[in-house]
Each structure stands twice: as structure tokens, then as C-alpha cells.
Amino acid sequence: MSDIIHLLPDSVANQIAAGEVIQRPASVLKELVENSIDAGATFIQIVIKDAGRTLIQVVDNGKGMSETDARMAFERHATSKIKSADDLFALRTMGFRGEALASIAAVAQVELRTRRTDDELGVLIDVAGTRVFKQESVQCDTGTSFQIKNLFFNVPARRRFLKSDNVEKSHILTEFYRIALVNSNVSFSFLDGDDEIFNLPASNNKVRIESIFGKNAKKKWQQQLLNIETSTNLVSIYGYVGKPEYAQKSANQYFFVNGRYMRHPYFHKAVLLAYNQMIQASESPNYFIYFEVDPQTIDINIHPTKTEIKFENEQAIWSILSAAIKEALGKFNIVPSIDFDQEGAVDMPTRMPVENVRPPQTNFNPNYNPFGNSGYKRPTLDWEDLYGGFEKKAEPASSSIDWESNIDSPVSPTFSSIEKQQEIEHTESARTENFQYKNRFILTGIKSGLLMIDQQRAHTRILFDLFMTQMEKSHGLTQQVLFPETLELSADDDLFFEQILPDLQRVGFDLEPLGNQSYSVNGIPAQLGTSSVINLLLDMLEKAKTTAQDPTASIHESISLTLAEASSLKAGQRLSNEEMSDLIDRLFACANYNFTPDGKKIVSTFTLEELEKRF
């Protein structure tokens, strides 16, 4: 039998190789623009027609090519950017594989015009399907112009794989953003047919970000970016992260290293964790983060179209990144917090946190309802109260409400003397000028302006922190129930329930196993204010199960949040001045008082400056 292996002709080999590098018009755009950047261009003009199917043109004012180089550029593995394997570890250019132009020329009709500054004449080369059709001297500007026409003209199968114009255009824009955002010192003009879709003068990163994404919402973008900057001998990190309240479902998230876009799931996690509890799980923050590292410490030589990059010092950089973001968020989070605008003001942080107190056994009078007819009478408010409250003497301590016990709950624990003491201290500081709006928001003055607080969310945050502490450090109070209900579980659920049972006991549930995957609910957390305990337990179980599937999510947080939401004071509930002060007091004793655990905003600040501007 004769031998059967033979080498493929160049045209076929190139076409196969092109499949790797050039998948769609967006890949062509990426390769050409990256070449222009590598050639030192300061101005790059892009023109596409029919979503790049019929034309992709990239014109630059970079260093241009000699006639020989222009011809060589279309050969496979022809590059001016590296000479040996060693150079791979000191890369400063976007390209280095020498494959792109060969690949493009294998699957499209290419016209190249290029001239170096010192050359009198430039060169024109026409190539299509790897064959050179024309090569001649021409008059042309310094720099390089590539026209790529009729992409995949000779590969119908690939052409058929292309998606609708809109989809292809969005791929093109994705690639464009990845380059334009990290080359803000380069001017770009971008024409889609006759429409100019971008005209970006050379500027800085911030202006570039705003002019790309803030086109229709410029104001918003200027307000939302928080600066991050840190420099160590391992890495310099700078850029911008979005304020939590601008988080969105499909956020703009960009990492760059040494001028190159990268994906980095591990660092991405660091960013998300820094926002922990500030944003909803379904949303994600915007970020534009630029890393500079010694090129020897990264490996970008993984795959021509992959954007993952390996870092030698990944863990250390993770921590540096995380700290930088937390610092930026922390700075911004410092709402004019503790400078309340009254004398002898609420100095809550010095108050002994309730969670450090191990509560003694409590006694209950199950028939006592502090809000029932015979019990405590809620103080009502009117304008006199609201504005006179500041001058007035505080109400006696006994009439103040403990927020950790829900006002609707049928029974209320008697407090230990320590807690009483705290209540008194608190009430004395409650000579605050608060105003409840729509029975939903609390308005309170601070030195530098006005705070508006969502009462339900504030209470959710307070209770969440309390339940978390109880689960992890102390122990919650139990209120025994008069008529225990029975919780019945499937075998599956029961297995999981047993795992979270100790946590539930710590927050105050008294659950007695009855066998057969059933439990008698003999007692519930003192703070709990729900009529349907069984439903709550099932809900909590369900959410905790989902949480358990995510290794980074915390079951304690899931349980605490479900409980806090079920127990929190609701909108529509009228509050006395003292109740409001107490709520504010406890809210600002929380480490993260600006957001609910699931990232909803609790406090909004109107600065004095903003208020004055209105008049």
C-alpha cells in the first residue's frame, strides 16, 4: 500500500487555522484594532458595513510597514513582536502569534495600504483567500489602512453560522469596548455605514468610560464611579467601581491587565464579595479595574481567542484588590452618619451592644399584650408632638418600645435589668426631632442635612444583625407558645433540617422532635412576629437549601434574613417619636446601616447643600 499522508496546501491550512482565530466580524475588528494599537497609533478610524459582513475597515496613524513587511505580514507565524520563546514572558504588545492577518486573508478579500513616515511612497496589497492579487506602490497617508471585504466569501458554512446583524454588531461593540476602555489616550472614530456611532477624543479612563456608557445617561455615570487606587510591589490596581445602588442585572464589568482586557472569575468573586450585602443577589456592580503587573508574572499564552490570564500571585492580588474595593466602598458609605444635630445627641456606638449580653432566663406572662386594650397605649403623634418633641422631656422609660420584640407579637418577654438600663439610657437620648412620613419613612435632621430612613428596611437590618449574632455568638430569647403546632417534613427535607436545627435553636426556636420527620414547635424567637410559624419554617428551609448549593453563600445569613423579613416592622405602622429614635439608634449601631442584607437602600441623605440649592 502506498503512503497516504500529505501536507495540506497553504490555502487550506490557513483556512482551518483561521477557524480558530476568526469566528465572526468582531474577531476581525479585534485583531485589526489591536494591531493598530501595537503600531503606536494615536488615532484609529473604524468603518463597518452590514454588521461587518461586507466591510470592516480600520485606518490608523501608526508606524506603518515597509513593502517587504507588508507582504510578510500575511504569512502565518509572521510577527515583528516576538523573536524567541523568552519574549513571551515579557510581552508588552497585544499581538504576538503572527496568525491574525494570515487567518483573515484566508477567509476574506483584503486590501492593505500602508506607509512609514520616512517612505515617500506607500504600498498597496490585495489578497483574497491567501492569494496575492496585487502589489504596487501608491501615494497614501502615513500609517495603515486595512479593508476587509466579504468575510467568509469562500467559506459558505461559516457565513451561514453568522447571526443577525444586531447580534453581530453587539459582538463588534463588545470587542471595541474592551480595547477603547483601556486605550483612552487613543482617539477613536467609529462609523456604522454612514452613522457615526462613536467619536471618542483622547482623554482619560474616566471620561472614556462615561462617554461610552453614559451616552444616554451621562449624569448618572458621573455620579456612580468610585475611584480605586492602590500600589504595591506586586501589582498596581486602579480604576473605578460603581456605587452599590447602581448595580444592575447586566452590569458593565471590565478587568484589564497591562493594557489588555481579561476575564478573571476569581478576581470577579473578590469584587462581588466586597459588595457583600450591599446589593441584591440578582444584581451585580459595574466595575472597570486596571491591573499593572510585571509581565513575567502573568501567562497570557493560553489560547488565541481566550481572554483568561493566569497570575503568579493570584491570592495576594486577590487580597489587595478586595481591600482596595472595600476601602472605596467604605469611604462612600460614610454617610454623614453620627453627627446628629441635637444636643446630648444619640451616642449609640458607645451603648453596650445587646448581643454581648447573655440574656438570663425570662419569665412570660402569656396573657400580657403590651398593645392590647388593657395594656400599653401607643402614644399618638401630631405636629405638636413632632416639633415640640425636641424641647419636651423624654417619656418615661416604661413607655418606650423594645424594637427587638415585634409590636404585633402576642406575647412579649420581660427584660432583664441590663436591657432595661439600656432602654432608659436610650430613652434619655431620644429627644430627637423625627418625622414620620406616610407611616413609612422616618425623616431626621443631622448636622449636614436630612436623613430619610425606610422604617421597614431599617428594622430588617437591625433584626438580621441580631439573628446573626445570636447564631454565631450568643443565644436568642424564646417565647413559649400556648398551642404548639407540628412541623412535618419529607425525609429529604428532614435531613437538611437537622443540619440547621442548632442554628434555629440559637435564635430562639424550641423545636421538639416527635419522630417521623415531625417537630413540635413549642417556642419561637422572642422577636418573631408572624402568625404562621410553620410556613415561615418551611420558607426558611427552602431558602437555606438553595443557599447551601452556593459554596460562597452563608446559610446563617439566609436564615437570618428570612426571619428578619418575617419579623420586621412593616410600612404603614405609625411610630412615636421615641420609637423612631430607638429605631434610628439601633440602625446606626449596625455595621452596615446603609443597606439591607439583600442590598436594598435603607438611608437616603439630602445634604444641606442640596437642600439649599432648591431655594
Least separation in angstroms between CB 552 and Mg ion:
38
Q: Which of 15, 35, 469, 576 binds ligand ADP (CB under 6 A)?
A: 35
Q: Which residue number, 96 or 368, has a Cβ lying nearer to ligand ADP? A: 96
Q: Name which of 569, 564, 557 is nearest 273 in CA terms.
A: 557
Binding mask 76-95 for Mg ion (x = CB under 5 A): -------------------x
The three cell numbers locating residue 594: 446603609
Q: How many residues bind ligand ADP (CB under 6 A)?
A: 22
Q: Which residue, judged by CB position, is nearest to Mg ion in the bound state?
A: 95
Run of H or E including 515: strand 510-515
253-257/287-292 β-pairing:
parallel
Q: Which of 95, 239, 242, 508 binds ligand ADP (CB under 6 A)?
A: 95
Q: Name which of 88, 146, 466, 454 is nearest 299 in CA terms.
A: 88
The three cell numbers locating residue 307: 481572554
The three cell numbers locating residue 9: 496546501
Binding mask 526-555 for Mg ion (x = CB under 5 A): ------------------------------
Q: Which residue number, 95 or 597, has a Cβ lying nearer to Mg ion? A: 95
Q: Which of 22, 100, 262, 293 binds Mg ion (CB under 5 A)?
A: 100
Q: Of Mg ion, ligand ADP, none, which one sits near residue 601, judging by CB under 5 to 8 A according to partner kind?
A: none
Q: Of ligand ADP, Mg ion, none, which one sits near residue 73, judging by CB under 5 to 8 A according to partner kind?
A: ligand ADP
43-49/187-192 β-pairing:
parallel
User: What is the distance of C-alpha 248 from the center of its chain?
Assistant: 8
The stretch among 99-107, 136-144, 172-180, 419-427 that binds Mg ion (CB under 5 A) is 99-107
Q: Name which of 449, 450, 532 is nearest 487 in CA terms.
A: 532
Q: Which of 15, 60, 127, 205 binds ligand ADP (CB under 6 A)?
A: 60
Angle, alpha carbons 305-260-31 (nearest 5°): 45
Least separation in angstroms between CB 201 and ligand ADP:
21
Least separation in angstroms between CB 96 and ligand ADP:
5
The three cell numbers locating residue 146: 486595512
Q: Name which of 423, 422, 419, 415 is nearest 365 in CA terms.
A: 415
Sign of CA dihedral 60, 63, 66, 72: negative
Residue 64, CB-side half-sphere exposure with 13 Å CA sphere: 19
The stretch among 95-103, 317-325, 361-369, 449-457 that binds ligand ADP (CB under 6 A) is 95-103
Q: Which of residues 102-161 bind ligand ADP (CB under 6 A)?
A: 144
Least separation in angstroms between CB 38 and ligand ADP:
6
Q: Which of residues 63-82 bind ligand ADP (CB under 6 A)?
A: 63-65, 73, 78-81
Angle between helices 491-506 and 455-472 (to 10 degrees): 90
Least separation in angstroms between CB 34 and Mg ion:
5
Q: Which residues contact 372 (CB under 8 A, 6 or more apart)?
A: none
Least separation in angstroms between CB 72 and ligand ADP:
7
* 3-state helix vs strand vs coil in the chain, percent to 5: 40, 25, 40
DSSP letters spanning 78-112: --SS-SSGGGGGG--SS--SS-HHHHHHHHSEEEE
Q: Which of residues 321-380 bind ligand ADP (CB under 6 A)?
A: none
What whole-number distance in Å separates Cα of residue 195 and Cα of residue 192? 5
Q: Of Mg ion, ligand ADP, none, which one sits near residue 42, judging by CB under 5 to 8 A according to partner kind?
A: none
478-488/510-515 β-pairing:
unpaired
Q: Which residue number, 151 or 401, has a Cβ lying nearer to Mg ion? A: 151
Q: Does 21 bind Mg ion (CB under 5 A)?
A: no
Q: Which residues contact 264 (CB under 8 A, 6 or more apart)?
A: 255, 308, 309, 311
Q: Of ligand ADP, Mg ion, none, which one sits near residue 60, judging by CB under 5 to 8 A according to partner kind?
A: ligand ADP
Q: Of Mg ion, ligand ADP, none, which one sits near residue 203, judging by CB under 5 to 8 A according to partner kind?
A: none
Run of H or E including 55: strand 55-60
Q: Which residue number, 35 or 478, has a Cβ lying nearer to Mg ion? A: 35
Q: Which of 35, 144, 286, 577 binds Mg ion (CB under 5 A)?
A: 35
Least separation in angstroms between CB 9 and Mg ion:
24
What are the φ and ψ backbone dihedral angles of 114, each rounded to 5 degrees?
A: -150, 145
The three cell numbers locating residue 488: 412535618
Least separation in angstroms between CB 45 and Mg ion:
18
Angle, alpha carbons 451-453-454 (nearest 5°): 160
Q: Of ligand ADP, Mg ion, none, which one sits near residue 322, judging by CB under 5 to 8 A according to partner kind?
A: none
Least separation in angstroms between CB 495 and ligand ADP:
56
What whole-number distance in Å separates Cα of residue 95 and Cα of residue 75? 15
DSSP lists the bridge partners of residue 254 as 288
Q: Tell me the Cα Rg of the chain.
A: 33
Q: How many residues bind Mg ion (CB under 5 A)?
A: 3
Least separation in angstroms between CB 32 and ligand ADP:
7
The stretch among 34-42, 323-331, 421-429, 575-583 that binds ligand ADP (CB under 6 A) is 34-42
Least separation in angstroms between CB 304 and ligand ADP:
9
Least separation in angstroms between CB 96 and Mg ion:
8
CB-neighbour burial class of residue 470 (10 A; exposed 0-12, middle 13-18, buried 19+): buried
- The residue ranges that bind Mg ion (CB under 5 A) are 35, 95, 100
- Per CB under 6 A, residues contacting ligand ADP are 31, 35-36, 39, 60, 62-65, 73, 78-81, 95-101, 144
